[in-house]
Structure 1
Amino acid sequence: MMPYQIPYGRQNIDQADIDAVVAVLNSPWLTQGPTIECFERAVAAHCQADFAIAVCNATAALHIACLAAGLGPGDRLWTSPNTFVASANCGRYCGAEVDFVDIDPLTLNLDAGLLARKLEAAELNGRLPKVVVAVAFSGQSCDMQSIARLAERYGFTLIEDAAHAIGAGYLGRPVGCGDHAVMTIFSFHPVKIVTSAEGGMVLTNDPQLAARLRRLRSHGITGEPAQMKVPDHGLWYYQQLELGFNYRMTDLHAALGLSQMSRIDEFVAKRRELAARYDRLLAGLPLTLPYNQPGAESAWHLYVVRLQLEYIQSSQREVFEALRGAGIGVNLHYIPVHLQPYYQEQGFAEGDFPEAERYFGEAISLPLFPDLTEEQQDYVVAQLSQVLGQASSANSRARHA
């Protein structure tokens, strides 16, 4: 019997969350009701954004954000290879071509310098992207200021995929405020900072984009007389203005998310505390620890270490399997998207984005969630240090932390 079964991430649900969902179950509205708007207002207020549009998941949010940006066949979307496939798939859903920009080896985010060079070449070839999706990997923003300057120069729409980063900060402002990205995407999956069980949201400061995003999440339909193409026939009347989707969030999901938002600062503070403790406990091991980019305050969705394989005898797979065998649910974020069979069928190949591939061969995501105890964290560190052949020195540090 293993002493622990520790996942890499897990939701924190309290009685207030349960009561909020039960209240909706006892209300007249299970979907398309007032709780959704309350949730949207709470997220917009926290992030200092003008508009928030809730949808059924973050992939749907990415899809309608790309559509609202006008992405379609013949266009191009660029993103990071170090992300979940949805950051790229949203472009394919729109019929666009997808390409990638390699990562910064420190931040593990899309490299703004490489993006600048790729844009110069693309301008000469007449193949500039219409959309760039900048992914806030692990909860830390990209160099959004530099990327926003490039967006202004080259005319692409900048979308921040902040699925990991609600509660994060950048240059003294909340991620999602719209200072740099035209639209920001959040995820409320159970392992994220706050959860609605499933759910996503698009934030923007553009009222026209907000109106279109609301239509796209609900079949392209509007009930607003000012948006209608033919005369309004009464209070019951609606019109489908474009092809949209049934991407609506339910009031049940919104109730959970709204309740969780009351504790977002607590959740982020605990994640930061645990990440700082990992930094102390793991110092000196043959690992590359996460890098804190100046000006970016991570929400710490993930705590990812990189194995310094030249200094250890075990392979990445052996370390991974040993930790899983000890009851520690380590994970790997992410397999570079361009190495997925679907994208290799689009013409991508191993070697195209070497920094992302090098990272993939060294990375392990350690458990990090608000309910992770110091005892559990000490166990994770002890098992990892033992696998790396450094148990005695790491245990000494743990006792004095």
Structure 2
Amino acid sequence: MIPYGRQDIQQQDIDAVMAVLKSDFLTQGPVVPRFERGVAEKVGARHALAVNSATSALHIACLALGLGDGDWLWTSPITFVASANCGLYCGARVDFVDIDPQTYNLCPVALERKLVQAEREGRLPKVVVAVHLCGQPCDMQAIHALAEQYGFRIIEDASHAIGGEYRGEYIGNGRYSDVTVFSFHPVKIITTAEGGMALTNDDALAQRMYLLRSHGVTRDASLMTQEPDGPWYYQQVELGFNYRMTELQAALGVSQLERLDEYVATRNALAARYDDLLADLPLTTPWQHPESYSGRHLYVIRLDLDGGLVSHRQAFETLRSQGIGVNLHYIPVHLQPYYRQMGFAEGDFPKAEAYYREAISLPLFPTMSEEQQDTVVAALKQAMGRA
């Protein structure tokens, strides 16, 4: 089986984790802060807070931004469910904005149209989660301009996008958002096994997220509401969570971070090779905005089904039967049973639903060989009746 994604673990990664196993700290030691500093310095952010998953990072980001009962969070329907669920965790209501059919990201034109209507109805969003699908950034300049006009806060869900760039700067620098979130799941661009990170340039947001990720407990006297009893004293000042990242995970992240640019360059080279190999097939290859440099977490094609040679499902199942671990990113969130119970239905976001009917994620990972890529393409041609 050629998987759609795969981590690359090298000896330096193993050595880094082994060093932590032999150290005094397996958690709450010096390596997590080292990883945070490394990522913050790499992307140009003031603060970085490592947590146990990108979902946790989204949750504490929403809480830090004050999202709560009666508020609205808007996001793209083409994303993993966590991008929407983080709003529900806070007691907010969730809605979606249809995608740009070229980038598959949240469409700024659709967003503006929806904001105009929402303002009339008195239900403007408090938070918009802009998802950089497959690693390609959203049009953040346009979304930021709308945020200034309509007063919402922005979280960049950059789970797919570390190492990518927008307008010549690393994604995560916070120029156009309040918080950026990265994921370090094994199929992502770099991994900590499980893990995530929230980045911000706002000191107050960083301090609140710092508390929320570790039970709301602090030993900082300046944050306490009463005088410490002694040097042992700590105080719970928030209702927080145990979202901490371990030293073992951070050690792996520190080591992987050294190869970030290499990984992204390799992914882009493989994607460019796919573009060439697939040029004559009845499908759409991923379009890339000239002002962005994608992390290329995923390589998603869209089948041209008008010819009737093959169905979407037939192509998918044929590829799987030949050992090609294709996947589909993603089922539109609003069509999930949990969200249908809230009143969402087919037809609500037609561009996202059209994407879902045609999309297939082909294998793409930094250790992928040209031979493996040729095998994928040959299998795809056979599945489409073009062998």
TM range (shorter): over 0.9
1:314 counterpart residue number: 310
* 2:124 is the alignment partner of 1:128: yes
Identity %: 65
- Other structure's SS at 2:50 match: strand
Equivalent residue in structure 2 for 1:342, among 318, 338, 345: 338
1:399 counterpart residue number: none
In 2: Cα distance, 1:313 partner to 1:237 partner: 70
* 2:251 is the alignment partner of 1:252: no
5+ unaligned residues in a row in structure 1: which ranges?
392-401
CA contact (8 A) 2:184 2:193 kept: yes
2:148 counterpart residue number: 152
Which amino acid is 1:285 matched to? L
Shift of residue 196, structure 1, vs aligned partner: 0.1
Equivalent residue in structure 1 for 2:201, among 188, 192, 205: 205
1:293 counterpart residue number: 289
1:78 counterpart residue number: 74
5+ unaligned residues in a row in structure 2: which ranges?
none
In 1: Cα distance, 2:111 partner to 2:231 partner: 50
Equivalent residue in structure 1 for 2:266, among 247, 252, 270: 270
TM-score by length of 2: 0.99
CA RMSD of aligned residues (A): 0.7
CA contact (8 A) 2:310 2:385 kept: no
- Other structure's SS at 1:248 match: coil
* 2:178 is the alignment partner of 1:182: yes
In 2: Cα distance, 1:234 partner to 1:293 partner: 57
Q: Deviations over 1:145-200 (max 9, x none)?
A: 00001111111110000000000100000000001011000000000000000000
In 2: Cα distance, 1:312 partner to 1:381 partner: 20
* 2:386 is the alignment partner of 1:390: yes
1:64 counterpart residue number: 60
1:281 counterpart residue number: 277
1:220 counterpart residue number: 216
TM-score by length of 1: 0.96
- Other structure's SS at 1:265 match: helix
2:18 counterpart residue number: 22
Which amino acid is 1:71 matched to? L
- Other structure's SS at 1:235 match: coil
Shift of residue 234, structure 1, vs aligned partner: 2.9
CA contact (8 A) 1:286 1:312 kept: no
1:261 counterpart residue number: 257
In 2: Cα distance, 1:231 partner to 1:148 partner: 42
Which amino acid is 1:338 matched to? H
Shift of residue 312, structure 1, vs aligned partner: 4.2
CA contact (8 A) 1:31 1:251 kept: yes
2:93 counterpart residue number: 97
1:394 counterpart residue number: none
Give the count of matched residue pairs.
387
1:395 counterpart residue number: none
- Other structure's SS at 1:365 match: strand
- Other structure's SS at 2:253 match: helix
CA contact (8 A) 1:312 1:388 kept: no
Equivalent residue in structure 2 for 1:163, among 131, 134, 159: 159
Q: Deviations over 1:43-81 (max 9, x none)?
A: 101111010000000000000000000000100000000
Q: Deviations over 1:318-362 (max 9, x none)?
A: 000000001000000000000000000011001100000000000
Shift of residue 311, structure 1, vs aligned partner: 2.3
2:234 counterpart residue number: 238
CA contact (8 A) 1:286 1:308 kept: yes
Q: Deviations over 1:87-118 (max 9, x none)?
A: 00000000000000000000000000000010
Shift of residue 293, structure 1, vs aligned partner: 1.3
Which amino acid is 1:335 matched to? I
- Other structure's SS at 2:328 match: coil
Of 80-89 and 289-298, deviating more is 289-298
CA contact (8 A) 1:148 1:158 kept: yes
CA contact (8 A) 2:68 2:90 kept: yes
CA contact (8 A) 1:303 1:368 kept: yes
In 1: Cα distance, 2:365 partner to 2:174 partner: 27
Which amino acid is 1:145 matched to? Q
Q: What does 1:6-17 correspond to in 2, within 5 Å?
A: 6-17=2-13
- Other structure's SS at 1:27 match: coil
In 2: Cα distance, 1:332 partner to 1:352 partner: 20
